[in-house]
């Protein structure tokens, strides 16, 4: 379980996050939704102390995070960064096995067991065929899957994802989010992902936190929070919902559809 209380963060004089309070339970897929610059990434980075919150606290299973060492935090919280290239052409398996760092001594290199865990994580995502490839030479979608596999190999109870669907094509977005959702269901993982597409969020999220100018605008179960009114307020775009059956709906801006006539 992950929770934060009156979390605040400022870069110098600029306040990026104010008074953030929420709790994410086990097996829950929580999406942080907001526009560019709303503070999503900063919030994600505050949740595993990549950034030190300037106010408030973060609790991991009830323990104040400031009382934990970096290794302890890394064993409890994993991070899937945005897909990117590395400086050196590491093999995929070598990137995934880095997840074992918090379990190894400072001077130790990963052993056979660590490689086995890394291979298992890749197999779980049907990506074992990538193991020996150059991380920089696979597609963006594959790289994002590999980074997800690394987070799985880290074996943490809480997983943070920083805009995991950015730079991914239509197919890869759904493939990745389905994999994440499945993971959340089967392993009781507590998941927090930042996103900016309301439709992807409404398709996959259990709980949505809407973040605007560093404050929580609305927060609650997907069905309750994802309404045209809330989304209009979040994005400053007049939005309407189009039902697509199965109690799901699609959100589209009203203006863009004007000419095609309804």
Partner 1 sequence: MSTSRASGRLLGLLGLILAAALVISLFSGRIQIHWQEMVTFGIHLLKGQDLPADLVHKELVLLWLRLPRCLMALLVGSALAVSGAVYQALFRNPLVSPDILGVSAGCTFGAALGLILASDVFGLVQVLSFFFGITAVCLSLGLARVISIKPVIVLVLAGIVVMSFFNALLMVVKYFSDPYDELPGIIFWVMGSLSRVSWEHVATMAPFTLVGLIVFIVLGFRLNILSLGDIQAKSLGMNPSLFRLILITFSSFMVAVSVACCGQIAWIGLVIPHMARSLAGPEHQKMIPVTALLGAIFLLLADSAARSISSAEIPVGIITALTGAPIFGYFLYKNRNTGWL
Binding residues (CB under 8 A) for partner 1: these are 45, 48-50, 70-71, 73-75, 77-79, 81, 85-91, 94, 98-99, 101-102, 104, 106-110, 112, 134-137, 154, 160
Least distance between partner 1 and beta carbon 78 (Å):
7
Whether 123 and 96 have beta carbons less than 8 Å apart is answered as: no
Q: Which is nearer to partner 1, 64 or 86 (CB)?
A: 86
How crowded is residue 54: how many other Cβ atoms within 10 Å of its Cβ?
Answer: 14
How crowded is residue 111: how many other Cβ atoms within 10 Å of its Cβ?
Answer: 11
Q: Which is nearer to partner 1, 24 or 77 (CB)?
A: 77
Least distance between partner 1 and beta carbon 122 (Å):
17
Q: Which is nearer to partner 1, 110 or 214 (CB)?
A: 110
Least distance between partner 1 and beta carbon 254 (Å):
38
Measured CA distances, 32 to 58, 119, 194 (Å): 16, 30, 5
Using left for φ > 0, alpha for ψ between -120 and 50, and beta otherwise, residue 98 falls in: alpha
Structure tokens, 62: 């009830």
Contacts of 97 (CB under 8 A, 6+ apart): 110, 114, 115, 117, 118, 153
Q: Which is nearer to partner 1, 2 or 231 (CB)?
A: 2
Least distance between partner 1 and beta carbon 102 (Å):
3
Least distance between partner 1 and beta carbon 89 (Å):
5
> Pseudo-torsion of CA 85, 86, 91, 96, nearest 10°?
-90
Least distance between partner 1 and beta carbon 87 (Å):
5
Q: Which is nearer to partner 1, 147 or 203 (CB)?
A: 147
Q: Which is nearer to partner 1, 50 or 237 (CB)?
A: 50
In three-state secondary structure terms, 210 is strand
């Amino acid at each position: 379980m992950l929770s934060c209380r009156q979390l605040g963060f400022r870069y110098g004089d600029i306040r990026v996050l104010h008074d953030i309070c929420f709790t994410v339970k086990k097996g829950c897929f929580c999406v942080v939704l907001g526009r560019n610059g709303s503070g999503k990434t900063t919030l994600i980075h505050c949740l595993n102390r990549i950034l030190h919150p300037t106010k408030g606290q973060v609790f991991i299973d009830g323990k104040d995070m400031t009382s934990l060492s970096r290794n302890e935090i890394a064993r409890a919280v994993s991070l899937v960064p945005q897909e990117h290239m590395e400086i050196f052409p590491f093999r995929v398996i070598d990137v995934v096995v880095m997840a074992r760092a918090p379990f190894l001594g400072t001077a130790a290199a990963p052993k056979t067991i660590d490689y086995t865990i890394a291979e298992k994580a890749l197999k779980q995502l049907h990506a074992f065929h990538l193991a020996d490839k150059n991380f920089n030479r696979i597609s963006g979608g594959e790289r994002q899957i590999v980074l997800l596999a690394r987070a799985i190999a880290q074996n943490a109870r809480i997983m943070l994802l920083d805009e995991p669907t950015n730079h991914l094509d239509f197919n890869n977005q759904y493939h990745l989010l389905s994999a994440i959702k499945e993971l959340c269901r089967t392993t009781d993982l507590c998941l927090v992902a930042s996103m900016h597409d309301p439709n992807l969020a409404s398709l996959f999220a259990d709980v949505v936190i809407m973040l605007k100018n560093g404050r929580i605008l609305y927060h609650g179960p997907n069905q309750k929070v994802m309404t045209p009114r809330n989304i209009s307020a979040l994005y400053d775009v007049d939005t309407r919902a189009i039902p697509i059956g199965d109690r799901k709906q699609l959100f589209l801006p009203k203006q863009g559809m004007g000419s095609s006539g309804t």
